[in-house]
Amino acid sequence: MDRVLNDFIVSLRGAGVPVSVSESIDAAQALAISGYGDRQIVKSSLAATLAKSAAEKEIFDDCFERFFTFQTLATDFAAGQETNEQQQPGDMPIPGIGGMIREGDLGGIALAVRDAARSVDLQSIRYFTQRGIFTSRILQTLQLDQLDRFVADLYRQGGAGAAAARQLEQGRDALIDMVRRFVEEQYGIFARESTERIIERYLWDVRLTELEERHYDRMHFLIRKLVKRMNERYSRRRRRAKRGALDFKQTLRANMHHGGLLFETRWKKKRMNRPDVVILCDVSRSMSTAVRFCLLMLYGLNEVVARVRSFVFCSSLLEVSHIFDTCPIAEAVERLRTGEGLDIHMGRTDYGSAFWDFTNRHLDAVTGKTTVIILGDARSNYGDPADELLKKIAERCRRLIWLNPETPPMWGTGDSEMKRYVRLCDVVMECSTLRHLERLVRVLMRIP
């Protein structure tokens, strides 16, 4: 039972429930006290020791039902029990699992399949291409090849032997189907972690403009992980900055009255930059996905960014900071995507008009401490690019960062005015994947 418990813990970890060694020991001790006779008691005992939150309990319930369920094709195996004694091939011993198939011993077959799966280390399955390999290994361990030869001999005998062979062949087909289903179930249990890693690697590099809507929730989860990691990294750097490097001049000066003995130390304090951010987002249809995830990330960086003021534009410009102050981040981003309750004209994208609105109505939001981020593809439908207004913004702010979801070879082609804007910006970055968003945080914090 310890091996079964260990396999179950492996499946939990693969599903995203962190289980420590001490918690594994607690689970084993709980089962030693409660026993294994009652399924519900076993489930409650394991849940009490292995699942620590409501989300983890949901994952635990799903894993428990998957792991401790073994479905068989009872009708197919039971057919073997209808074979009367006159149809049996005398005293010929049936090799391998054939005897259980003839008797319709469903419990014995299930245990034999599980033992065979354990002997071929089925819990190590990680990729869908391995399903056929493990199915073949289990059937080989069950000595199905010997049963096939035995069935062939029975057919050659004819008469009652042929009738018995048909019964065994029917059970053999049901056994193969059972093993295939069992391998599928175990793949779903043990390969979940590997599948998640493959999907995550894909989402880190997929272009946001090509992201399928079915992956939005998973992308939100990855952004939350990224935000948490960057916030924690910033916090550690800030705690170290409280001590800093030793300031020798100040230390010697402070200890002159001690005769040069270093009783008091002075430290160089490194100021950590927490920038005020003003972000201008092009919310035209081609930009909506990139804006969605960029804002999700920026508003989650409460340890990295001191304050964020956000503006959206298409044919006109509008400040939407108040929406993020009154709504959860995800809900606020969704409102921006749909334009619900926003007084903004969603016509042809006009960067010149957006820069005019910003410089004439909201330029006071920009100071010498402000980092201005513009998220857009710079395609202004051949309208006035108003680069002189962008220059005015650049001269007033601390840094001007332009994020463009298009690849650099596309900049300046067609109606793109990117070549005009590049010379006015401090940093120009492609921002089309989650990796680019991570790089944006490093640029904001100047992390090497």
Convert the pLDDT of each residue in 234-267 to its tens digit: 655 544 445 567 777 888 888 888 877 777 888 7
What is the predicted pLDDT for the residue at 163?
A: 81
- Split at pLDDT 50, 70, 90, the class of 421 is very high
Q: Which residue has the higher pLDDT, 268 or 135?
A: 135
Q: Which residues does 229 contact at the CB level (< 8 Å), separation at least 6?
A: none
What is the predicted pLDDT for the residue at 82?
A: 46
d(CA 223, CA 17): 19
Tell whether the model's pLDDT for residue 418 goes beyond 90. Answer: yes
When pLDDT is averaged across residues 108-126 and rounded to a whole number, the result is: 83
Tell whether the model's pLDDT for residue 321 goes beyond 70. Answer: yes
% the chain with pLDDT above 90: 15
When pLDDT is averaged across residues 136-165 and rounded to a whole number, the result is: 83
Query: CB count, 10 Å around CB of 406?
Result: 21
Residue 276 to residues 319, 350, 448, Cα–Cα distance (Å): 16, 26, 20
CATH code of domain 273-445: 3.40.50.410
Element (H, E) at 246: strand 245-246
When pLDDT is averaged across residues 392-409 and rounded to a whole number, the result is: 92
When pLDDT is averaged across residues 115-135 and rounded to a whole number, the result is: 84
% the chain with pLDDT above 70: 85
Tell whether the model's pLDDT for residue 91 goes beyond 60. Answer: no
What is the predicted pLDDT for the residue at 81?
A: 46
Domain ranges of the chain: 2-67, 74-194, 273-445
What is the predicted pLDDT for the residue at 427?
A: 92
Q: Are 168 and 79 in contact (CB under 8 A)?
A: no
Tokens (6 digits) for 328: 């959860």
What's the mean per-residue pLDDT of the chain?
Answer: 80
d(CA 149, CA 178): 21
Q: Are 384 and 410 in contact (CB under 8 A)?
A: no
Tell whether the model's pLDDT for residue 57 goes beyond 70. Answer: yes
d(CA 51, CA 26): 12
| Structure confidence by residue, pLDDT tens digits, 198-233 | 777 888 888 887 888 778 778 888 888 888 777 776
Q: Which residues does 286 contact at the CB level (< 8 Å), separation at least 6?
A: 209, 377, 379
Q: Are 45 and 30 in contact (CB under 8 A)?
A: yes
Tell whether the model's pLDDT for residue 138 goes beyond 70. Answer: yes
* Range in 18-27, 181-190, 194-203, 307-316 with the lowest mean pLDDT: 194-203
What is the predicted pLDDT for the residue at 72?
A: 46
Tell whether the model's pLDDT for residue 383 goes beyond 80. Answer: yes
d(CA 271, CA 58): 44
When pLDDT is averaged across residues 116-139 and rounded to a whole number, the result is: 85
DSSP string, 31-43: HHHH-SS-HHHHH
When pLDDT is averaged across residues 96-105 and rounded to a whole number, the result is: 78
Question: In this structure, which long-range contacts are made by residues 48-52, counting pairs with CB atoms below 8 Å and at least 24 apart in sequence?
Answer: 49/23, 50/9, 50/12, 50/17, 50/19, 50/23, 51/17
Tokens (6 digits) for 350: 């006009």
What is the predicted pLDDT for the residue at 229?
A: 78
When pLDDT is averaged across residues 425-430 and rounded to a whole number, the result is: 92
What is the predicted pLDDT for the residue at 345?
A: 67
* Range in 157-166, 340-349, 417-426 with the lowest mean pLDDT: 340-349
Tell whether the model's pLDDT for residue 346 goes beyond 70. Answer: no
Q: Which residues does 145 contact at the CB level (< 8 Å), separation at least 6?
A: none
Tell whether the model's pLDDT for residue 87 goes beyond 50. Answer: no
